[in-house]
Chain A
Amino acid sequence: MKTVPSDGAAAAPTRSRRRAGGSAVIVSIAGAILSLLVFLAVFADLVSPYDPLRQNLIASLQWPSAAHWLGTDDLGRDVLSRLIHGCRIAVIAAGEATSIALLIGVPIGLFIGYRGGWWDWIVMRIVEAVVSIPGIMVAIVILALLGTGLHKAMIALGILFSTSFLRLARGVVLAEREEVYVRSARVVGASDGRILLRHILPNIAPPLIVQTTLTVGAVLLAEAGLSFIGLGVQPPDASWGTMLSTAAAFMDLHWFLAIPPGVAIILTVLSINLIGDVIRDGVGRGIAVAARPDAGAPRHAAPAVVEPSAAPPPRHRPDEVLRVEGLRVTVATADGGELPLISDLSLSISKGETLGLVGESGSGKTLTGLAILGLTSVALRTTHGSIVLNGRDLRGLSQRQIEEVRGNEVAMVFQDPTTSLNPAFTVGSQIAEVLRAKHGLSKPAAWARTVELIDRVGIPRPAERARAFPHELSGGMAQRIAIARALSCNPSLLVADEPTTALDVTVQQEILDLFRDLQAEFGMAILFVTHDLAVAADICDRISVMYAGEMVEMAEVGALFARPRHPYTRGLLSAMPHASDRMPPLPTIRGNVPRPGTWPAGCRFSNRCDFRIAACERRIPLAGADRQVRCIRADELILEAAQ
């Protein structure tokens, strides 16, 4: 027997959504089953072919036949007739116990919720005590006091299930009591009874209906259980539970006896639960599911428009650690197509160098970082290009090989340090785990090295901090731990995804200094993803500007800031706050980064660009070698960051 937790109504939205298609059919079937049940219960005497109690010992334990559609039981009684009369018991039982539960639970719940104080405390402790015991035991105790029989069993179940109604009613009252309209009604001088009746009752009706359907299903199962063990309906009366009790005694002789009542119970309870689900989805929750945030995403833009144009590969640089060429990442769309998120992206980073990847949100910066590590989510696919790290193309590697590369050759630091550390383990164990898994260090050796690393990233009392859990550390401290973990295996490339964005300004600077120090010491290349140009100017050697999934400009930091060549870069620089002049309002780039799939066919910035001409309707290649720009007018425009 299962008591119904009043908060157990949390149906996963996915379930209701998935069911949406077949739900109409299922609901009609469930409705038909329940209608049949009620019909049979009402007209049992007319419908059933035999008297359910008439014995015929000569024809006992028969298989289904034309005379007895479901066979006969041990006393030769017609199983179908008993099943039909069982419907009546089921309906009576469900109605009786559920009504009792409602009549006891709702008024008491309303009362204690409304009054609060000691009444509330005492009743709730009693409810907790009752709920903590298995439901069947509670019923058994009550039956010990009342004696056995259908109606007494239903009183027992009614009392048992009243606890869920009580908690529900109390919860609703507690929530509604402080609502403005109830308070104003009280100010106006409405009596307590009137407030309960007029203002609170209508609000608890929807959840009550849901709880009622849940209870009816649970009551049916409980009644069957109690009758099965002989404490509910007493023989020779036919209920599904007593029929199963008979069947249990004859399992070795005639197992079929167990089938009709069992199927009847399952179908009935299943139907009620399914209809209950539908009601629940209809009552408030369904609305939230209906409006999906991405429902308005346009799907018309043909992915084929964005052909990877043959951009010249970036010039080889000395000491190259990472070289990405022609990278293209797509997402699978609902209609089976593929929508590009990143196209034709090439870049390279040398040992000890920091390349900044800047752009507005949605430009594909973070995705680029993840794609390099092969960590894009399942719906995304890297379709074109090569990612050569230390002379080896990562795209050709097996799962096992890429796992080997991660951590050892490339590591990543994420934006929010408090969520990128596992809350379940101490921070030290998370670093030590990497050392043990990747370098095969022994437990003590890994721990010693962990403490060294934590010390190295500038955390005082490292041995003590290593035993802290992530939630016990500040954001800056947690980010230092994340950096220590990323560097634990001395990777040649570090991808830092907005590592300072979630931190306080003062802490930001410390973390940037830490990156610089560590780079000087370990000599790794850094791909630094940020939307903050000031941060990029501070830490990067070169900057790549991304817009709508492609690179629009790449230059040395000094050159980029002094003379941007792409109108978008200029816009970004103009929107940068300067400490010196706060007076003029910051210019902004009008509009937003277009979503993937809504990119203009030609220059993707063209719809926001002040310098647009007809030629911008065509795809623009990335031009240049050391300094690259994707603008057809790059040579004629003289752009300056508006000071």
Chain B
Amino acid sequence: MLRLIVQRLMALVPLLFIVSVLTFSFTSLLPSDPVDLILGDTGTQEQHEMLRERMGLNEPIVVRYVQWLGRAVQGDLGTSFFNSVSVTTALMQRLPVTLSLTLVSALIAIVVGVAAGIAAALRPRSWVDRLATVGATIGQAIPNFWFGLLLVAIFAVNLRWFPATGFTPLSASPVDWMRSVALPAIALGLSSSAAIARQVRSAMVGVLQQDYIRAARAQGLSSRRVILRHALTNAMVPVVAVLSFQITVLLGGALIVEQVFAINGLGTLAIGAVRQQDIPMIQGLVLVMVGLVVVVQLATDVVYGLLNPKARPS
């Protein structure tokens, strides 16, 4: 298993390199001069020059890239153009918020999706089956932030079961954390759950026709064991293969859904950074996103390897 992880990590090196180059080159792609952005129209020519020198903008681009990468690897992503806050600090404050949202919604999507997928596979054309099909079709067309608005209207404004806005950190109060995360996570996760249900269903229907399922039944193993252990383990293989894509979609969706619930996560940070052309912040955000995606891919690769022995390097 260790070998699999190392192998996957090695495969990520070119990706990380390209992302870092692309990310770094934003500064050069920017139509306006970063120094002008920071100082605006104020400041003398000398002040501009000094800042330019201090930011290392007079160095050749390759040198700047290496310096920037060296600092980034050590966790120093620079300071915001806008308010001189350390980018790393700002990101680390917001990361747990967006991560809670993404992970809880992924959990909802997987649990609901797998359960519904199994039910649909066992009873084709039943109501669960139809619901998963219709749900996946409609889920593809519903903006998740709009679904979030509906949930707010029903469960927060009318029924008052959940807070309409805000976020409570897990460390402050697990119960309040759950309550603050519940609605946005459902808004995000439910349409993915329908997509996952459809994948589980079609994989499960295929697996249930396999010889080894019949052989397991012939051996007198209980239906429950045959379905949940023998069939599901194999049916999850193709599902896990596309799960990292689903989680990436959820991560992107979280950035928008945060706005519905006035949650101060990475999304809010990103929107502010775009408006202010705060390049270091954007660079930091991209790196964090890529980092998350890489971790998710690694995790799904490992699960994939656990489920599918043929995928393991021998």
Please tell me if B150 contacts chain A, counting CB pairs below 8 Å.
Answer: yes
Report chain A residues within 8 Å CB of B271. 140, 229-231
B241 CB, nearest partner CB in chain A, Å: 12
Residues A262 and B143 in contact, CB atoms below 8 Å apart: yes
Residues B143 and A423 in contact, CB atoms below 8 Å apart: no
Give CA–CA (A323, B31) in the complex, Å.
88
Please, what's the 1-or-0 string for B100-142, where 1 marks a CB less than 8 Å from any CB in chain A?
Answer: 0000000000000000000000000000000001000110111
Residues A1 and B310 in contact, CB atoms below 8 Å apart: no
Report chain B residues within 8 Å CB of A399. 223
Are A258 and B149 also in contact (CB < 8 A) when A133-B286, A251-B164, A423-B310 are?
A: yes
Residues A416 and B15 in contact, CB atoms below 8 Å apart: no
Give CA–CA (A437, B223) in the complex, Å.
12
Are A251 and B149 also in contact (CB < 8 A) when A132-B15, A148-B274 are?
A: yes
Max chain A C-beta neighbours (<10 A), residue from B137, B217, B251, B282? B217
Of A406-414, A503-511, A631-639, the segment with at least 4 beta carbons within 8 Å of chain B is A406-414
From residue 260 to 282 of chain A, which have CB atoms closer than 8 A to chain B? Answer: 261-262, 265-266, 269-270, 273-274
Give CA–CA (A199, B143) in the complex, Å.
40
Please tell me if B146 contacts chain A, counting CB pairs below 8 Å.
Answer: yes
Are A424 and B274 also in contact (CB < 8 A) when A137-B286, A224-B143, A434-B221 are?
A: no
Please tell me if B40 contacts chain A, counting CB pairs below 8 Å.
Answer: no
B156 CB, nearest partner CB in chain A, Å: 8
Give CA–CA (A262, B149) in the complex, Å.
10
Residues B293 and A132 in contact, CB atoms below 8 Å apart: yes
From residue 156 to 173 of chain B, which have CB atoms closer than 8 A to chain A? Answer: 156-157, 164
Are A421 and B212 also in contact (CB < 8 A) when A129-B19, A399-B223, A407-B221 are?
A: yes
The residue of chain B having its C-beta at the shortest distance from the C-beta of A147 within the complex is B277
The residue of chain B having its C-beta at the shortest distance from the C-beta of A399 within the complex is B223
Does more than half of chain B's interface fall in helix, strand or loop, or is it mixed? helix
Please, what's the 1-or-0 string for A395-419, where 1 marks a CB less than 8 Å from any CB in chain B?
Answer: 0000110011111100110111001
Are A248 and B259 also in contact (CB < 8 A) when A128-B15, A266-B138, A412-B215 are?
A: yes
Residues B222 and A145 in contact, CB atoms below 8 Å apart: no
Cross-chain contact of B219 among A130, A266, A485 (Cβ < 8 A)? A485
Give CA–CA (A595, B292) in the complex, Å.
57
Give CA–CA (A3, B245) in the complex, Å.
10
Report chain A residues within 8 Å CB of B31. 145
Give CA–CA (A12, B19) in the complex, Å.
35
Of B22-30, B57-65, B69-77, B88-96, the segment with at least 4 beta carbons within 8 Å of chain A is B22-30
From residue 130 to 161 of chain A, which have CB atoms closer than 8 A to chain B? Answer: 130, 132-137, 140-141, 143-145, 147-148
Give CA–CA (A423, B210) in the complex, Å.
11
Report chain B residues within 8 Å CB of A134. 248-249, 251-253, 255, 289, 293
B164 CB, nearest partner CB in chain A, Å: 7
Are A422 and B230 also in contact (CB < 8 A) when A134-B252, A262-B146 are?
A: yes
The residue of chain A having its C-beta at the shortest distance from the C-beta of B293 within the complex is A132
Residues B164 and A140 in contact, CB atoms below 8 Å apart: no
Residues B157 and A251 in contact, CB atoms below 8 Å apart: yes
From residue 272 to 309 of chain B, which have CB atoms closer than 8 A to chain A? Answer: 273-275, 277-279, 282, 285-286, 289-290, 293-294, 297, 307-309
| Interface range, B side | 35 or more
Report chain B residues within 8 Å CB of A129. 15, 18-19, 22, 290
Report chain A residues within 8 Å CB of B256. 1, 136, 225, 228-229
Give CA–CA (A255, B146) in the complex, Å.
11
| Interface range, A side | 35 or more
Give CA–CA (A486, B216) in the complex, Å.
10
Cross-chain contact of A273 among B141, B152, B218, B278 (Cβ < 8 A)? B141
Please tell me if A300 contacts chain B, counting CB pairs below 8 Å.
Answer: no
A164 CB, nearest partner CB in chain B, Å: 13
Residues B309 and A423 in contact, CB atoms below 8 Å apart: yes
Report chain A residues within 8 Å CB of B308. 423-424
Cross-chain contact of B218 among A141, A269, A412 (Cβ < 8 A)? A412
Residues A270 and B259 in contact, CB atoms below 8 Å apart: no
Give CA–CA (A64, B294) in the complex, Å.
49
Give CA–CA (A143, B267) in the complex, Å.
14
Residues A141 and B275 in contact, CB atoms below 8 Å apart: no
Please, what's the 1-or-0 string for A305-335, where 1 marks a CB less than 8 Å from any CB in chain B?
Answer: 0000000000000000000000000000000
Report chain A residues within 8 Å CB of B150. 258, 262
Residues B146 and A265 in contact, CB atoms below 8 Å apart: yes
Please tell me if A520 contacts chain B, counting CB pairs below 8 Å.
Answer: no
Report chain B residues within 8 Å CB of A255. 149, 153, 157
Residues B234 and A145 in contact, CB atoms below 8 Å apart: no
Please tell me if A54 contacts chain B, counting CB pairs below 8 Å.
Answer: no
Please tell me if A2 contacts chain B, counting CB pairs below 8 Å.
Answer: yes
Are A411 and B219 also in contact (CB < 8 A) when A125-B18, A244-B145, A419-B210 are?
A: yes
B92 CB, nearest partner CB in chain A, Å: 18
Please tell me if B260 contacts chain A, counting CB pairs below 8 Å.
Answer: yes
Please tell me if A582 contacts chain B, counting CB pairs below 8 Å.
Answer: no
Are A421 and B215 also in contact (CB < 8 A) when A403-B223, A406-B220 are?
A: yes
Please tell me if B14 contacts chain A, counting CB pairs below 8 Å.
Answer: yes
Give CA–CA (A270, B136) in the complex, Å.
11
The residue of chain B having its C-beta at the shortest distance from the C-beta of A269 within the complex is B141
Report chain B residues within 8 Å CB of A12. 198, 202
Please tell me if B211 contacts chain A, counting CB pairs below 8 Å.
Answer: yes
Please tell me if A351 contacts chain B, counting CB pairs below 8 Å.
Answer: no
A289 CB, nearest partner CB in chain B, Å: 15
Are A125 and B221 also in contact (CB < 8 A) when A248-B149, A251-B164, A255-B153 are?
A: no
Report chain A residues within 8 Å CB of B146. 224, 244, 258, 261-262, 265-266
Cross-chain contact of B214 among A137, A231, A414, A489 (Cβ < 8 A)? A414
Please tell me if B233 contacts chain A, counting CB pairs below 8 Å.
Answer: yes
Are A248 and B260 also in contact (CB < 8 A) when A132-B248, A422-B234, A471-B310 are?
A: yes
Max chain B C-beta neighbours (<10 A), residue from A140, A373, A405, A419? A140
Report chain A residues within 8 Å CB of B277. 144-145, 147
From residue 238 to 263 of chain A, which have CB atoms closer than 8 A to chain B? Answer: 244, 247-248, 251-252, 255, 258, 261-262
Residues A231 and B274 in contact, CB atoms below 8 Å apart: yes
The residue of chain A having its C-beta at the shortest distance from the C-beta of B136 within the complex is A15
Report chain A residues within 8 Å CB of B15. 125, 128-129, 132
Residues A145 and B225 in contact, CB atoms below 8 Å apart: no
A443 CB, nearest partner CB in chain B, Å: 15
B86 CB, nearest partner CB in chain A, Å: 19
Give CA–CA (A425, B308) in the complex, Å.
9
Please tell me if B270 contacts chain A, counting CB pairs below 8 Å.
Answer: yes
Please tell me if A375 contacts chain B, counting CB pairs below 8 Å.
Answer: yes
Give CA–CA (A83, B310) in the complex, Å.
54
Report chain A residues within 8 Å CB of B141. 217, 221, 265-266, 269-270, 273
- 19 example contacts (A-B, Cβ-Cβ < 8 A) are as follows A2-B252, A125-B14, A129-B18, A224-B143, A225-B145, A229-B267, A231-B275, A255-B149, A265-B141, A373-B217, A375-B214, A375-B217, A403-B222, A414-B211, A419-B210, A419-B212, A422-B215, A424-B307, A469-B309
Task: Please name the 6 residue pairs, one residue from A and one from B, whose CB atoms are nearest each other, closest first.
Answer: A134-B252, A407-B220, A406-B220, A269-B141, A255-B153, A412-B218
Spell out B's residues near A (CB within 8 Å): 14-15, 18-19, 22, 26, 29-31, 133, 137-138, 140-143, 145-146, 149-150, 152-153, 156-157, 164, 198, 202, 210-212, 214-223, 225, 230, 233-234, 237, 245, 248-249, 251-253, 255-256, 259-260, 267, 270-271, 273-275, 277-279, 282, 285-286, 289-290, 293-294, 297, 307-310
Extra contacts besides A132-B290, A375-B218 (14): CB < 8 Å:
A125-B15, A126-B22, A132-B293, A134-B253, A136-B256, A140-B274, A252-B157, A258-B149, A262-B150, A370-B214, A411-B219, A415-B211, A419-B211, A419-B212
